[in-house]
A and B are shown apart, each in its own frame.
Chain A
Amino acid sequence: MTKKVLLIEDEPHIVEALSFLLKRESWQVEIHNDGIGAVNKVSELTPDLVILDVMLPNIGGMEILHDIRQNQQTAKTPVLMLTAKGQQKDRKAAEDAGASLFMTKPFSNQEIVASIRELVN
C-alpha cells in the first residue's frame, strides 16, 4: 500500500527537492505551503506522515503541531518537524509538543529518507 506523506513547507525549492526524494520511494506526496488550512489538510487527508516546517507564513509550525495533537483524529499521526533555526530550545519545544522527529535544515537526503521510512512503517 502506498504511503501518503503531507508536506507542509513554504520554500518552493525545498518542496521540490523533498517531493523528488519521496516520490522516488514511491510514496504519495501531498503539498501545502501555508500555515492557514494546514491542520484541516491533515485531518482531511489522514496522511501516514506529516513533514512540517517550523517557519510558515501566517501560522507557525509549532502551533499547527499543537492543533494536530489536540485533534483525536490526527493525534497519532507521526510528524517530522523541519527547522532552519536549529536552536536547541526549538527542538525541546517541538518534542514536548509531540513531534515524532525534529530535523534541522539543511539535512542529508539519505538521513531524512531513512527517518521517514522508519516513521511511516
Chain B
Amino acid sequence: MLSFNLLLTVCLIYVAGLFCVAFLAEKNAKRKKLGFFSSPLTYTLSISVYCTAWTYYGAVGSAARNGLEFITIYLGPTLVFIGWWWLLRKLVRIGNTQRITSIADLISARYGKSTTLAVIITVLSVIGSTPYIALQLQSLTLSFSVFSDGFAGQDPATTSSLTALWAAVGLAAFTIIFGTRNLDSNERHHGVVSAIAVEAIVKILALIAVGLFVVWGVADGPNDIMSRIQPQIMQSQDIFTPRWVTLIFLSAAAVICLPRMFQVIVVENSDEKHLSMASWAFPLYLFLMSLFVLPIAIAGLDILPAGANPDLFVLTIPLTQNQDALAMLAFLGGFSSATSMVIVAAIALSTMVSNHIVLPLWLWLTLSRSPTSEDVRTLLLRSRRISIAVILGLGFLYYQFTSGTGGLASIGLIAFLGVAQVLPALIGGLFWQSSTRKGAIWGITAGFILWAYTSFLPSFEGNFLLSQSAISNGIFGFEFLIPSALFGVTIDDPLVHATVWSLGINTITFIVMSMISLPRPIEKVQASQFIHIFDQAATSTTLSRQTTSEELHILSQRILGHQTTQKLFNKAARTQGKLSGQLPDPTNDFVLDLEREFAGSVGAATAHAMIGQIASGEAISVEDLIKVADETAQIMEYSARLETQSKEIEQTAEQLRQANAKLRELSEQKDAFLSQVSHELRTPMTSIRAFAEILRDEDHMGKDQISHFSSIIHDESIRLTYLLDEILDLSFLEHGKVQLKLSFTKFDKILKRAMNATQTLREQSGAEIEIPYNLKNLVIETDADRLSQVLINLISNAIKHSDAEKPIIRFKLEHFEHTVQIEMTDNGKGISAENAEIIFQKFAKLSSEQGAGSAGLGLPISREIVRNLGGKLLYVGNNPGAVFNIILPHSISPLLDPAATIEPAD
C-alpha cells in the first residue's frame, strides 16, 4: 500500500515539473522560439483539457452503470472536430482577426459589442462552470481518499473537506502564477498551455497503462475481457434513445461553448493551420481515451467486491492488484485531468470577469475623471487574480453544498447544459445575418433561467434556494412548476427534460426576438464581418482620426505595458518612415492596429470604448461612423416619433381651433343675446321716458291725455317687468336651476289653468280649443304650473299668429310605452320653412311678425320647461296648420336625481 505522504510528495514533484515546463515555455515565448510549445501537437494536446477527471474516472463509472452511454461524451466533440471546416475554422478565424478574448467577448462583439450580452454570458459561464470545478475538486478528494486509509482515526468528511480546500487553494495559486503573470496582448498563455499539453500526455498514458494492465495483466487478452461482461453493462444498450441524442448534442455543444474549451481552441490558437491537425488528432485522442474504458469497467465489476465505487475503478484496480507504481500513474492521470481543467477554466472565467464586468465598471466610474489616474494593467491583473480566487472559492462552496451526492457524470452534464445556452446565439451569430442583440440577450436569459430552475437548482437537492418540497411538488405547491415536469411535460430523464425546455425556449426566443427586432447598424456590420469572415479582403476601414500620439502612447502603456508599447510604436514609426524614438503619427491604420491590440487584452467593446474616450469625439472611424449611424437611426426614430407627436399636436390644435370657434360662436351668441336683451329693455324704457318727460314738461294738457300717457307708461312698465321675469326664468331653466314641484296631476287641471290665463285672448279672437276626453283624464307626474305655462305659450302663439278668421286649436293624445305625446294643431297656414328654423331661438323676430308685444322668448322658455320635465317640445310640421308635439314621461321621478325633493300632490 502506498503511503499518503509518498503520494503527496509525488504530487508536489509533479506540480513542480509542470511549473518548470510552464516557465520554460514562457521564457521561450519571450524569445520567440516556441518550437514544440507552439506546434499543432501542443495545440491538439491542450484541447484534451476536455477530458477532465469526469471523463478520466467518470467514464468508467458510467460504463459500469449505464453501459455504452459514456461513448456519447466522446462522440459529440468527435463530430464537431470532424466537421471543423464548417464551424471551428470560422470560430478560430474570427477569434484571431478580431482578437477575441473569450466566448463572452465573441458573442458580445458579434452583436454590436454589447456590454449587456458580455455580462450575461460571463455570469452564465461562471455559474455554469462552478459545478464543473466542484466536480474536479470532488474527484481529487475521492482519489486522495482512496489512499487515505493511512489516516485512520480521522473523520473522513473533515478529511475530504480539507483535501478539497487545499486542492482549491493550490490550484488557485498555480493559476494565478501562470495565468496572470502578465497581460499578453493576444491573451495567450504559452506556459499554461504547455503544462496542460504535458498533463494531457500523462493522463492518456496513465489510462492506456491501466487499460493494458487490465486486458493483459488481470485478464488474458481482449477475448477474456469480453467474456467477463456483466449483464448490467449490456442491459441498457438501446442506442439513439432521446438520452443518447441529448448527450451527444450536449457534449458537442460543450466542446465549443465551455469557457475553457473556447479558451484552448480559439483564444490560445496561434495558427489556424493547427486546426487541421487537431481535426483528426483530437478525435484520435478521444478514441484512445475511450478505448479501455469498457475493459476497465468490466474488470472492475468482475474482480472488485460489490459496492466498490465504479468511479474509482481506474485507481482501485491497480491498488487491489498491488501495482503501486501503476496506481500512482493512474492517480497522476486523474490529478492531471482535474488540475488542467480547473486551471484553464479559471483563466478563461477570470478573463471574462475582469474584461466584461470589472473593467467596464471601472471605465464607467472613472468616466468623469482623467483616464490616466490609474494603471489599467494593474487593475486588470489584480481583478483577474481576485476573480480566479473567487471562482475556485465558488467551486469549493458548491462542492461543500453537494458533497456526497450524485455521480460525477450528473454534475458534469448540468454544467454542459448550462454553458450550452450560449449555443443558439453563437451559431445564429455566425450563420444568420438577421439575428440581433435583443434576440441573443432574451434567448440566453430565458434559457439560463429555465436551466437554473430545471437542472441547476435541483442539483443542490433542497440545500440552496429551492427546497426539497419545491423540487418534488413544484414551487409554492404548483404542480405545473415541478422542476422535473414543467407544465406537466413528463420526460422520464430529467436531463432530457431540462435540455428540451431550456434550449428549446432559448432557441425559440432567440429566433422570435431576432425577427421582431431590428439590428442596429453596428450589429449589421459586425454580423457581416463575422458571417463573411472568409470573404474579407484586408482593407483598412478607418477614415481619419484626430488623436494625439502622446495620448495613445499613454493609454497603450497602461494597457499593453511599456515594452510592448515601445515595440508597437517603434514599428509604426519605422513604417511611417520616422526615426526610432519618434512617435508615429496617429494614422488610421496605426490607431486601428492599436485598438486591435487593446482588444486582445481587454475585449473588443472595452478597447473601442477606451480609444473612443481618448479620441473624445474627434475620431472618425468606420465604427464611429456606425455609432453615428446608430445615433442617426435613433434620431430618425425620434424624429419619426416627433412627427407622430406633431401630428397629434396638430390634431389637438385643430380640436382647440374648433373649441375656440365654438367659444367665439358662443361668445357672439352671448353678445347677440345681450344686444337683444338691451334692445328689448330699451324699447319700453324709451316710451316710458319719453312720456314721463312729456308729462313733466308740458303744462297745458287735457286730463284724458294725461291719463292716456300715464297708462302707456304703466303698460310699458309691466312689459318691462314681464320681460325681465322671462329672461330670468329662461336663464334658470337653461341652467337647470329650477325647483320643480312634482306631483301626479290630472291633465284637465293643467288645461283649465291655461284656459283661464288665455281667456281674454280667446274671447277677443273667438278661438276654439278642442280637447279630447282621454287627454282630460290623463294623469302624469309633472310640474302642473310649469306645464300650464307651456300650454299658455303655445295657445297664445297659435291664436296670435293665426290668420284664420276663427282660430281652432285641436289637441290629441297618444300613449307610448314610457311616454305620452300631446299633439297640438291649429288651423292657420302653418309656419314657413324660413321661420321654422328660428322659432325656438331667443328673441326670434319672425319675418312676418310685427315688433310690438312679443319679446320672442315664449317658445325657448317652453322648450326649456319641457326639457326640465324630462320630455321634448317639437315643431313637427304643418297639417296644414302648425303641429307641435309635447312628449312627456309618465313619471318623471326616476329620471331625476334621487336627491330631488318631490312635493306632495296639491
Taking A21-B694, A84-B682, A85-B679 as known contacts, 20 extra A-B pairs with beta carbons closer than 8 A to each other, sorted by chain A number, are A11-B683, A11-B851, A55-B679, A55-B851, A57-B845, A57-B850, A57-B851, A84-B678, A85-B678, A85-B682, A87-B675, A104-B682, A105-B682, A105-B683, A105-B685, A106-B688, A107-B689, A107-B690, A109-B694, A110-B697
A37 within 8 A of B: no
Task: Please tell me if the beta carbons of B686 and A10 are within 8 angstroms of each other in the complex.
Answer: no
- Chain B residues with Cβ under 8 A from A1's Cβ? none
Question: Contact partner of B693 among A11, A83, A109, CB < 8 A?
Answer: A109
Task: Please tell me if the beta carbons of A13 and B675 are within 8 angstroms of each other in the complex.
Answer: no
B687 within 8 A of A: yes
B849 within 8 A of A: yes
Question: Contact partner of B687 among A10, A11, A55, CB < 8 A?
Answer: A11
- Chain B residues with Cβ under 8 A from A12's Cβ? 852
Interface residues on B, range: 20 to 34
CB-defined interface of A1-17 with B at 8 Å, one 1/0 digit per residue?
00000000011111011
Interface residues on A, range: 20 to 34
Contacts A10-B850, A12-B852 known; A86 to B686 CB distance under 8 Å? no
Q: For window 79-121 of chain A, which residues contact chain B by CB distance below 8 Å?
A: 83-87, 104-110
How would you classify the secondary structure of chain B's contact residues: helix, strand, loop or mixed? helix
Q: List 10 A-B contacts (CB under 8 A).
A: A11-B851, A14-B690, A21-B694, A57-B850, A84-B679, A85-B678, A87-B678, A106-B689, A107-B689, A108-B693
Task: Please tell me if the beta carbons of B849 and A106 are within 8 angstroms of each other in the complex.
Answer: no
CB-defined interface of B849-865 with A at 8 Å, one 1/0 digit per residue?
11110000000000000
Contacts A57-B849, A58-B847, A109-B697 known; A13 to B678 CB distance under 8 Å? no
Q: How far is the CB of A13 from chain B (nearest CB, A)?
A: 4
Q: How far is the CB of A74 from chain B (nearest CB, A)?
A: 24
Q: For window 661-718 of chain B, which residues contact chain A by CB distance below 8 Å?
A: 675, 678-680, 682-691, 693-694, 697, 712, 716
- Chain B residues with Cβ under 8 A from A21's Cβ? 690, 694
Q: For window 1-57 of chain A, which residues contact chain B by CB distance below 8 Å?
A: 10-14, 16-18, 20-21, 55-57
- Chain B residues with Cβ under 8 A from A84's Cβ? 678-680, 682-683, 686
Contacts A18-B690, A57-B845 known; A13 to B712 CB distance under 8 Å? yes
Q: Which residue of B lies closest to A90 (CB)?
A: B675
| In the complex, the 9 A-B pairs of residues with the closest C-beta atoms, listed nearest first | A17-B690, A84-B682, A13-B687, A105-B686, A106-B686, A106-B689, A10-B851, A84-B679, A109-B693
Task: Please tell me if the beta carbons of B694 and A20 are within 8 angstroms of each other in the complex.
Answer: yes
Which residues in A have some Cβ–Cβ distance to B below 8 Å?
10-14, 16-18, 20-21, 55-58, 83-87, 104-110
Q: Which residue of A lies closest to B849 (CB)?
A: A57
Which residues in B have some Cβ–Cβ distance to A below 8 Å?
675, 678-680, 682-691, 693-694, 697, 712, 716, 845, 847, 849-852
Task: Please tell me if the beta carbons of B682 and A106 are within 8 angstroms of each other in the complex.
Answer: yes
Task: Please tell me if the beta carbons of A14 and B694 are within 8 angstroms of each other in the complex.
Answer: no
Q: Which residue of A lies closest to B691 (CB)?
A: A17
- Chain A residues with Cβ under 8 A from B682's Cβ? 84-86, 104-106
Task: Please tell me if the beta carbons of B687 and A14 are within 8 angstroms of each other in the complex.
Answer: yes
Q: How far is the CB of B700 from chain A (nearest CB, A)?
A: 11
- Chain A residues with Cβ under 8 A from B678's Cβ? 84-87
How far does the alpha carbon of A56 sit from the alpha carbon of B847 in the complex, in Å?
Answer: 10
- Chain A residues with Cβ under 8 A from B851's Cβ? 10-11, 55-57
Task: Please tell me if the beta carbons of A17 and B847 are within 8 angstroms of each other in the complex.
Answer: no
Question: Contact partner of A10 among B679, B685, B716, B852, CB < 8 A?
Answer: B852
- Chain B residues with Cβ under 8 A from A107's Cβ? 686, 689-690
Q: Which residue of A lies closest to B697 (CB)?
A: A109
- Chain B residues with Cβ under 8 A from A17's Cβ? 686-687, 690-691, 694
Q: How far is the CB of A82 from chain B (nearest CB, A)?
A: 8
